Amino acid sequence: MAIPRHLAIIMDGNGRWAENHHLPRVSGHRRGVETVQSIVRSCRELGIGYLTLYAFSSENWGRPEEEVGALMGLLGQFLKSEMETMLARGIRLRVIGETRRLPAPIFHVLDEAVERTAGNREMVLTLALSYGARNELVRAARALAERVAAGVLAADSIDDETFASALDTAEIPDPDLLIRTSGEMRISNFLLWQLAYTELYFTETLWPDFDDDQLQLALKEYGRRQRRFGLTAAQIHGKDREVPH
């Protein structure tokens, strides 16, 4: 079975799961956190080096205040409950997005978790929080423009590598596989730059029901794909070196 170096997941369907079970939406989010814990463990055991989870988008701030508050509370609980597990299993926590928009208590817990796990090397778990890819691209363009204006960067020297270095994900490789649950077939403003050559996998399964068996199905499908990166199949088969992303 092919194992992606970097797996990204859009975790969708918590609210619909709750509605299907005649429960309040927060119950779906709570069950979704349990799925996160399970999938993180599975990915670590499989040897996936990078796992990125779309946990809270910049658009999610527009949800009802009660639901946003519940989501922030669950995030804080997750970070506190999983700290020792991350340390024991060598999982480094990273975060992308406009985290300064998070409530101060949550921001501080998150900052502490990132700092305490910084030395871990077995897997990088990245949470996309208050994240929107268009916003990320705008912030990157603004940062590069400021460097050009300051005279420390020549405009004509900006290439793909330079631009990527200004993104939130500068320290991690682009995803090899993106999974989206719940049957929706779009990427919803997630990693627009980084997903250029990512394999996409969509499943009808709602996130709270996404388990190890579902993960295995996604990985098996990924293993059947041929990643050509714009080249021909003959070129890929004839190359001994890794094709650059």
Q: What is the pLDDT of residue 245?
A: 47
Q: What is the pLDDT of residue 93?
A: 98
Q: Which of 12, 168, 174, 176 is catalytic?
A: 12
Q: Which of 20, 60, 176, 212 is catalytic?
A: 60
CATH architecture of the domain with range 6-238:
3-Layer(aba) Sandwich (3.40)
Nearest to 47 by CA among 4, 105, 100, 93: 4
Q: Is residue 120 flagged as an active site residue?
A: no
Q: Is residue 189 flagged as an active site residue?
A: no
Nearest to 42 by CA among 225, 199, 210, 205: 210
pTM score of the predicted model: 0.92
Domains of the chain by residue range: 6-238
Nearest to 101 by CA among 148, 144, 139: 139
Tokens at 165, concatenated: 């270095």
For residue range 170-220, what is the model confidence (pLDDT) as tens digits? 999 999 999 999 999 999 999 999 999 999 999 999 999 999 999 999 999
For residue range 141-158, what is the model confidence (pLDDT) as tens digits? 999 999 999 999 999 999
| CA atoms within 13 Å, Cβ hemisphere of 178 | 21
Q: What is the pLDDT of residue 234?
A: 73
Strands annotated E in 108-190? 123-131, 177-180
**What residues in the chain have per-residue pLDDT under 50?**
243-245
